[in-house]
Amino acid sequence: MHDLKVCYDAERGAARWAEAGSTDGLAPDLWPYGLNRFADLGVDVVHVDNPPLTTSEALRQLISPSARRPGGAGPEARVSIAWDEGAAKRLLLRDRSERNHCGAIWVNDMTKRTDPPLVWDAKRVLMQMDSVWCLSRAQVGPLEELLPGVRVDPLLFGIDADFFPARDHPGGQTVCSFGGDRHRDPDTLFAALHRVRETHPHAAFDVQSTSPTPPDWLTLLPRMSPSGVLEVYARSAVVVVTTRPNLHVSGMTVALEAMATGRPVVITDSPGMDDYVQDGVSGTVVPSGDDAAVAAAVTRYLDDPALAAEHGRNGRRLVESTFTTARMCADLAGILGLD
């Protein structure tokens, strides 16, 4: 029996992760979120990529939440984990172990929207866990209120700092932005970059966005391989992330990748973001929806390359000391009692 089984949704599992770097053989870590690094700690870890539940499985789980398919769906382990609430649903039916844990990523923000069935379903899943973890201290209180009796542990996120190496600051006036989850704020981003464009006519803007109406004066980035993302960070002077109010710390992955590369970050102040970006040290944290503040912060870095390089170096040091997948797995091993 293995020590630990990591349960992924097949749509976002280890096989798909490898495919993301298939064009050039490059991808961060071996598994999503770097959970392969448990092996470096001496933990006997395996993973499964679970396809979607069939209709009969979903009904069985709904009628009998503690149901499990006879024989399980893969190798046996003392502990099973899933990164988020969705993957945990499949874990409970197919991969339940003696102890089961998962991350709570989306449920806090679900409660802010008008979809009570989704909240009920996520809460039902989380209440069956031996414990849950979350990616900022700001999430702990709301989760403890939502999940009475379930232990909630904060866990700082990490990235593959070797894959995202420090690069010398390029100078120049290229600004980039990545990400398109539902809590990104393209309206504020575009308004801010328009302000920058008016005062810096030679600036270039590389932006990845799901907005249906991006301005025609920016370069709209497609979905890119990890090595393609690296190239964009390398040529950028500053990285910008604007978000709407949320509790899952939207944008933290981009922030950490930028910091690892040695780029200053301009990012919206959402609950928990201060766990990741130190205002005035590794970047600038701005109020939600304030395009003037975003533009002022970006302009400051474009006009002062020495400051941009200094904050970039500070960010790199923070990633190396605190925000690696190796450190994250070591902390999570402690939470799971595997250390």
pLDDT over 90 at 306, yes or no: yes
Cα–Cα dist 35/83, whole Å: 9
**Shared domain check, 257 and 243:** yes
Cα–Cα dist 122/135, whole Å: 17
Q: What is the arrangement of strands in the sheet containing 204-207, beginning at the earlier edge strand? A: 219-220, 204-207, 174-177, 238-241, 265-268, 283-286
- CA-CA distances (angstroms) from residue 129 to 84, 122, 148? 12, 11, 12
**Shared domain check, 124 and 67:** yes
Q: Strands of the chain (E only): list them.
A: 2-9, 45-50, 77-82, 99-103, 131-134, 151-154, 174-177, 204-207, 219-220, 238-241, 265-268, 283-286
pLDDT over 50 at 57, yes or no: yes
**Shared domain check, 258 and 129:** no
Cα–Cα dist 269/125, whole Å: 30
57 within some domain:
yes
pLDDT over 70 at 148, yes or no: yes
pLDDT in tens, 21-40: 645 557 899 999 999 999 99
Partners of residue 46 on adjacent β-strands: 5
pLDDT over 60 at 305, yes or no: yes
The pTM of this model reads 0.93
Say what the pLDDT of residue 70 is: 40
165 within some domain:
no
Say what the pLDDT of residue 53 is: 81
Residue 52 CB neighbour total at 10 angstroms? 13
- 303: containing domain: 174-322
Domain of residue 79, CATH code: 3.40.50.2000
Spacing of C-alpha 19 from chain mean position: 19
What total number of domains does the chain contain? 2
User: Do you know the residue count of the chain?
Assistant: 339
Say what the pLDDT of residue 65 is: 59
Say what the pLDDT of residue 317 is: 98
163 within some domain:
no
**Shared domain check, 151 and 10:** yes
Structure tokens at 239: 């990285």
14 within some domain:
yes
Percent of the chain at pLDDT > 90 equals: 81
Three-class DSSP category at 140: helix
pLDDT over 90 at 58, yes or no: no
**Shared domain check, 277 and 332:** no
Which residue, chain included where needed, has tokens 């990890």? 226
168 within some domain:
no
| Angle subtended at Cα 235 by Cα 232 and Cα 240, rounded to the nearest 5 degrees | 65
169 within some domain:
no
167 within some domain:
no
262 within some domain:
yes
Average pLDDT, the chain: 92
pLDDT in tens, 259-285: 999 999 999 999 999 999 999 999 999
**Shared domain check, 154 and 81:** yes
pLDDT in tens, 84-136: 999 999 999 999 999 999 999 999 888 777 677 788 889 999 999 999 999 99
**Shared domain check, 131 and 35:** yes
**Shared domain check, 203 and 142:** no
Least-confidence region, from 23-32, 199-208, 242-251:
23-32
**Shared domain check, 225 and 123:** no
Which residue, chain included where needed, has tokens 């003392």? 78
Cα–Cα dist 66/249, whole Å: 31
**Selected residue with higher pLDDT from 225 and 43:** 43
**Shared domain check, 147 and 7:** yes
**Shared domain check, 124 and 245:** no
